Amino acid sequence: MKQPGFIFKIVLVMLPLLLCTCGATTILSSSNLHPLILIPGNGGNQLEARLTNQYKPSSFICETYPLFKKKNSWFRLWFDSSVLLGPFTRCFARRMTLHYNPELDDFFNTPGVQTRVPHFGSTKSLLYLNPRLKLITEYMASLVDSLEELGYIDGETLFGAPYDFRYGLAAPGHPSQVGTKFLNDLKSLIEKASISNGGKPVILVSHSLGGLFVQQLLSRSPSSWYKKYIKHFVAISAPWGGTVDEMLTFASGNTLGVPLVDPLLVRDEQRSSESNLWLLPNPKMFDPQMSLVITSNRSYSAHDMTDFLKDIGFPEGVYPYQTRILPLIENVEAPEVPVTCVIGTGMRTAESLFYRDGNFDEQPEISYGDGDGTVNMVSLLALQSLWKDEKNLDLKVIKIGGVSHTSILKDAGALDEIMGEICGINAQAELGITISNALSA
């Protein structure tokens, strides 16, 4: 058996080599890479729809839109550029709208509208929201290109887990058919990715809302499962505590930067989204004394969400929020796997919304604070405060100044940081193999 001093020398020699900067010439063999699964954020993958005989168009335009589609055939629902035109915006919004059924205690599509998520298991639907409009709808294309430069191959070591991002999850005891199915599908994909790669545990890389789904998957799985199948969890731009920007969405509608769209035309559809309820500011993480929305009559903190939903004219959101969402976000459990949070900082991020005359149909004056332009800093860093007393916690935070919530997926400097982290995770595994082989020699 080798002496400990000899092993230490091996480690000293190998460590700088294994932790080298990743790139096209990386020494990490693609055959030794841990499989990696990408989980997108809200609006971060393509959606398709099909209309049945139950569909009741609200206008002649909606009956014929999109043009040239075959009867009962699937067509692109998200993202379709025709949403930029007012009449088509209304058709789009109606088809995207969810409906909560109090008797069944779950969310459902608009009657007559079937939806599906294409290319589950592949990164194909994550690259561009519309492949015909690559320049303006790029999402994870640059990130995937960088991963492929490390040696990752789509369908072999690299996988995608797109989902219907309108749906969220609910607290235990409440049905959440679509969201729960996605968790089960993701769990199966993790197991298959690991098994097809010689039993290597998987690296999960999420963006935005995807991080909340991953956290829920881990908290709902036995530790024996995720210790076997999960190598590392890299959460990019995760809104652990929700966002003030989401209150703008509920109050006045949010075009999300898409030009020409009237926010009021999409407001009802956005309010109907189960996942948007999930992304409202978490009262456990936002200061109860901090006014997030201010009108001439009163102000609303994260603890006043029930009143806020009523006062903006969305009382039907109160019951699902109180019964399904609040219990879900009260306890964000720390998993026993290494977690790296990669966040953007230094971007003007909505911190308070001012409605001087109390008219929520108007866009508010906005007071800004720090964050990534979408998610507030208190939310991005929530795990540090929530998990500060956790024993054996392996949590790392990488802050990248001057990158926004979505540009972090394509900014060259940000991609270097993310690739460096993924390279390091794989290098640690190779280092462990090297030491194990040396000890057994």
* Of the candidates 262, 122, 94, the residue with the CA atom closest to the CA atom of residue 193: 122
Please identify which of the residues 125, 194, 206, 208 carries the catalytic annotation: 208
Please identify which of the residues 207, 372, 404, 411 carries the catalytic annotation: 372
Please state, as a whole number, how many other Cβ atoms lie within 10 Å of the Cβ of residue 290.
Answer: 15
208 counts as catalytic? yes
Stretch 101-116: mean pLDDT: 97
* pLDDT band with cut points at 50, 70 and 90 for residue 3: low
* Structure confidence by residue, pLDDT tens digits, 275-309: 999 999 999 999 999 999 999 999 999 999 999 99
- Strands 47-51 and 75-78, sheet pairing: antiparallel
166, amino acid identity: R
Q: How far apart are CA 363 and CA 413, in angstroms?
A: 34
Tokens of 154: 């789509």
Please state, as a whole number, how many other Cβ atoms lie within 10 Å of the Cβ of residue 128.
Answer: 20
Predicted confidence at residue 30, as pLDDT, reads 66
| 35 within 8 A of 202, measured Cβ to Cβ | yes
Instruction: Give all domains of the chain, ordered by start, each with its CATH number.
Output: 33-410 (3.40.50.1820)
Give the CA diameter of the chain.
81
185 counts as catalytic? no
Does 81 have pLDDT greater than 90?
A: no
Express as a percent the part of the chain with pLDDT over 70. 90
| 207 within 8 A of 40, measured Cβ to Cβ | yes
372 counts as catalytic? yes
Tokens of 403: 């990158």
Does 336 have pLDDT greater than 80?
A: yes
Please state, as a whole number, how many other Cβ atoms lie within 10 Å of the Cβ of residue 46.
Answer: 25
- pTM here is 0.92
